[in-house]
Structure 1
Amino acid sequence: MSAVVHLAGPGRPRPDLKELLGRVAKGDRDAFSGVYDVVSGPVLGLVRRVLRDPAQSEEVAQEVLLEVWRKAAQYQPERGEVMAWVLTIAHRRAVDRVRAAQAASDREKRIAAASHTPAFDEVCEQVEGRLEREQVRRCLKSLTELQRESLTMAYFRGLTYPQVAELLGVPLGTVKTRMRDGLIRMRDCLGVGA
């Protein structure tokens, strides 16, 4: 029995990915076309969520699909579904790309730092920045736990008020009140004019 390589839709059967991948392992290009049709969208979506760069995402997605073609024989059905196997490859590739980019950036920063002697103004700015961060930390500690938690989620994790409310399991109005009160206390603690 051969697998159907058309995408599932109204009146169309779903392709059997395990059977298709088995045929891909034997070098069947038509079967790979069927696998590609089913997995390419989810692979690109996952990679884009990790990388956030469309061009790099497309490049990594191509690498993933090439790896699926090359390593189809390594798929072990007893260890899980084909889609999970493919998406695991995609996630690993995307994370590897992020790590490689971060390592390159870190190297460049180390090289730049080693070849640069900071000017007096830079040193002053660094010291002032550290002092300001310490003051913010001290003021955050003066808030109630509920205020601190809400402010941290919104301002340091970048969540919206509705997201904070959902995560904390409280009404949106409660979060807004906590945030307003916490910001007023922070303003007073930091000595910022009203």
Structure 2
Amino acid sequence: MTERSGAVENADRMLARVALGDRQAFESLYQTTSATLLGICMRLLADRAEAEDVLQEVYVAAWGKAAQFDASRASALTWLGTIARHRAIDRLRALPAAANRAPIEAIEATPDDAPSPAARAEAAGEHARLDDCLDQLEPRRQTLIRTAFFDGATYEELAGRSGSPLGSIKSWIRRGLAQLKACLEQ
């Protein structure tokens, strides 16, 4: 028997004794498994104090639920590790988001990527101008350009949809773009 399998069987026996209320077995179980369980908690929670709090919750749960442990389904370490993982995840979800824990002074240093009101107004003006220029194109070119550039259709897809030759589609779009350019430069 390897040292690891011996420790697993020992933990199984200790947990069975804990189910009977044996405090010595509980202390031995803690000594045997606490480092591993703390590692599980630390992997999920970056804060050691939080991980230690969760570890305490794990052993309180183990003391109260030891009678539910079934050695035929999992080892004691696996059972305790599952409790630790679930409790750590619950704690992680309950913690405020990192941004909410940041000092208020950090907000001033955080860049705002949203466009300014002036930039939004300018973009709206350019959008209206583009719509006006598109409306001046003949309907076929207007539809092809809108579909190609706003819907992302390829030239081949446009040729298939319209039943027109690929070369004609490319020419119509090229001429339409030239007209748009001239209109926008006015």
TM-score (norm 1): 0.47
Structure exhibiting the larger radius of gyration computed from Cα positions: 2
The higher-RCO structure (CA 8 Å, 6+ apart) is 2
